[in-house]
Amino acid sequence: MIDDLLDEMTLEEQVALLSGADFWTTVQVERLGIPRIKVTDGPNGARGAGSLVGGVKSACFPVAIGLGATWNPALVGRMGMALANQAKSKGASVLLAPTVNIHRTGLNGRNFECYSEDPLLTSEIAVAYIEGVQSQGVAATIKHFVGNESEIERQTISSDIDERALREIYLLPFEQAVKKANVMAVMSSYNKLNNIYTSEHAWLLTTVLREEWGFDGIVMSDWFGSHSTVEAINAGLDLEMPGPARDRGAKLVSAVNTGAVEAETVRNAARRILNLLGRLGAFDIASDLAEEAVDLPEDRALIRRLGAESAVLLRNDGILPLAKSELNRVAVIGPNAAVAHVTGGGSAQINAHYKVSPLEGILNALGDDRVCYAQGCRNNRLIDVFRGEVTVEYFTGRTCQGSSVHTEVADSGEFLWFDLPARELVVTDFSARLSATFVPEESGEHNIGMTNAGLAKLYVDGELTINGYDDWTAGENYFGTANTEQRHNLMLEAGRTYQIVVEFASPTTMSAGVNLTGIRFGVEKPLSTKAIDEAIELARFADVALVFVGRNGEWDTEGLDLPDMRLPGRQDELIEKVAAINPNTVAILQTGGPIEMQWLTKVRAVLQLWYPGQELGNVAADVLFGDAEPSGRLPQTFPKRVTDSSAITSDLSIYPGKDGRVHYAEGIFVGYRHYDMTGIEPLFPFGFGLGYTRFDWGLPKISSTEMGADGISVTVDLTNVGEKEGAEVVQLYVHPLANTIERPSKELRAFAKLTLQPGESGKANLTIRLRDLSYFDIELGGFVAEAGDYELLIARNAGEVCSSFKIRLASSWTELVKSVKDKPAESAP
């Protein structure tokens, strides 16, 4: 059928399939009955075609680092199935997820979107996720292929990575997704790899992905991430997104006619698009791109369970779990207490069906009479976004003149326009007038802020207050397309109504090639300098002080990296002062990665919640009061200080980059591999996590001490000897005892998570194979396991080995890749 269609298609029709029709859909060819399909973000929810900050509501699941923290691929597979059905509710058949880039620094703005610093844990979670999604007839799209471990200059920077590090660390999750999960789509990254854009990197997209791994799906660009006509199609990039065509269309037809691109190359790419449509059943089902909000009780329950399994208990001197019956007064404190920060920022954002804040969750568990609240301090990067009715009038042209062509009412002061609401509007030649009223609750100084991707002026009661026209320069907001937030202070009176009007004009050209316009404005009253004192007084007479701190989607977001690993604002001070007045202080963290904790020994417990989705507050209450165990384990090492990390040095070429290049000088020594090599003691090691019960570990049993073609099986007996149900994660690391090449001291090669009732026993079953003993030999062009002795380490985490035993490989083993020619250039020194 596919070849018959291709035979009937003109060159122009084949080329048309190789670009999107618009932001979210592919091109249909009505003449031949070739349908269009819709794609949707994202990793922790299916958003549909709406704005990043609005649209039809969706189920919001835990972020990827939380999924990595579960160490539970089977449960993540269930989430994949649920996500696929959420995608269908948005009329979409391709999910733009999962993200499997490696935690290299902890400062990556998208650290929360990625699973782990370890390629094996990343691979196992990703494979389960993909299998779950694709089992329901929806395609998964693994991304970003490859080397996108930072958001700094991400659209142009070259990630210079040697081939050994690529093969052993950064490519492995993609390889396993292809070979084990048969992933249907791959998304190229924005960056260059060794000075060649990944979207036109023939070695990466064709030699490795298709010829070596046997990938038979499609490769699409990240949005606006393709840069050429001839180079990209010849390298193996099938689909340019979004549409309409920029470097394809007539340009590609011309390239074929002049001989720069073979007609067969276009035909093969079109065949892969058609094959995807066939695999998704698009030819058999009428295209329905309608969107609806589907809020299922089984999704709610799954999100709540995932949240608890992702929660990592980092410190506990016995105060947790809290006994509800013994609590008369609980102080709930902190900037993350009354606000539900359920996900990070950027394209991973979800307009959740609902959001349960930690304060709401604790009130639901204890009742109003036993809970008191104080914010203490702020941690926002931007002024609080305006919440309330906003009327938006749209105009053709950039002057807000004439009659509006469309009017709508929104519920907040933030807008991102991928698509405009009326056909008459052109993204580079439209304007919008936003009108709202604001009534202060208190008199005094208020901060008004605005950031705009485009040009904007903000008026308060007719007076120009913020001028976002003059001297406009790109800043860090909205993926680098908006300016840095401008702020102005005004004295406002409580109870008085103020008219806020924003006049917005689209840019005539798109920053960094990204077709994005947007505006965000907000008003907030600065917290009094006494806010921390008020929180201290609240904590003074409480039985326990629960301090909810961390970051939010303004910090953990696509488009910018973090400035450091400290808690923003005065949060460290808040924790220390509350702990000094209340000996029963518990710190609950919401971050997308590690933070420094100089106050660690001053609190009785520390609980890391990440961003666990719409059930956040219920998850917090479940774990704190013992209705669920925090059974997560760290998927990323927490350093004592940011400078302990492998990539954070005085050499800026290693991070954040220099002269348009970032050199992965640490090679394979990422995460715990680096801490083992240097002897630096982390704050918390990779794989660490406490629980509410105790386990006895039996001595491991192995099927053989000689490694053979079938591998070696290892079993470990566990018994729950505590009084509560709980989970334990058994981790198996390989330590090579004799090497002719520098290798990590140990590497994770298998793991198993068991959940047991009190008194119950179970077996952790682990298997290692020949490749688990290997390293990648660049000159040979393959994986090599040298003959000799290896030590298998059975561990609770990377810093706590429980037992070990030796195995032997009698003769060296090699697994050559299919092609060793056209290898990537070595990283620049």
Cβ 139 vs Cβ 94: under 8 Å: yes
Nearest to 9 by CA among 296, 274, 369: 274
Residue 760 has a CB neighbour count (10 Å cut-off) of: 12
Separation CA 47–CA 38 (nearest Å): 12
Task: Report helix, strand or coil for 731.
Answer: strand
**Which residue has 């907040």 as its token pair?**
412
For residue 209, what are its two tokens? Answer: 């992905």
Cβ 527 vs Cβ 375: under 8 Å: yes
Residue 244's φ and ψ, nearest 5 degrees, are: -75, 170
Catalytic center residues:
222
Q: CA-based Rg of the chain, rounded to a whole angstrom?
A: 27
> Cβ neighbours of residue 733 under 8 Å, at least 6 residues apart?
746, 747, 748, 749, 792, 793, 795, 798, 801
Separation CA 39–CA 289 (nearest Å): 10
3-state secondary structure 689-742: CECCCCEEECCCEECCCECCCCCEEEEEEEEECCCCCEEEEEEEEEEECCCCCC
Q: Between the CA of residue 273 and those of 94, 204, 220, 269, what are the distances in Å?
A: 12, 19, 10, 7
Cβ 110 vs Cβ 101: under 8 Å: yes
Q: Between the CA of residue 695 and those of 2, 759, 793, what are the distances in Å?
A: 57, 9, 18
Strands (E), 281-324: 312-316
Cα 141 to chain center, whole Å? 14
Separation CA 656–CA 292 (nearest Å): 42
- Looking at residue 638, what DSSP letter applies? B
Which residue type sits at 175? E
For residue 779, what are its two tokens? Answer: 């000159």
Helices (H), 468-615: 531-540, 571-581
Which residue type sits at 632? G
Separation CA 262–CA 407 (nearest Å): 48
For residue 249, what are its two tokens? Answer: 């269309």
Q: Between the CA of residue 780 and those of 709, 810, 815, 821, what are the distances in Å?
A: 21, 20, 10, 11
Which residue type sits at 47? R
Separation CA 657–CA 64 (nearest Å): 25
For residue 206, what are its two tokens? Answer: 């064709």
Separation CA 590–CA 585 (nearest Å): 16
Give me the sign of the Cα torsion angle 101, 102, 107, 111.
positive
Angle at 505 between CA 504 and CA 506, to 5 degrees: 125
Separation CA 54–CA 31 (nearest Å): 35
Torsion-angle region of residue 759: left (phi > 0), alpha (psi -120 to 50) or beta? Answer: left
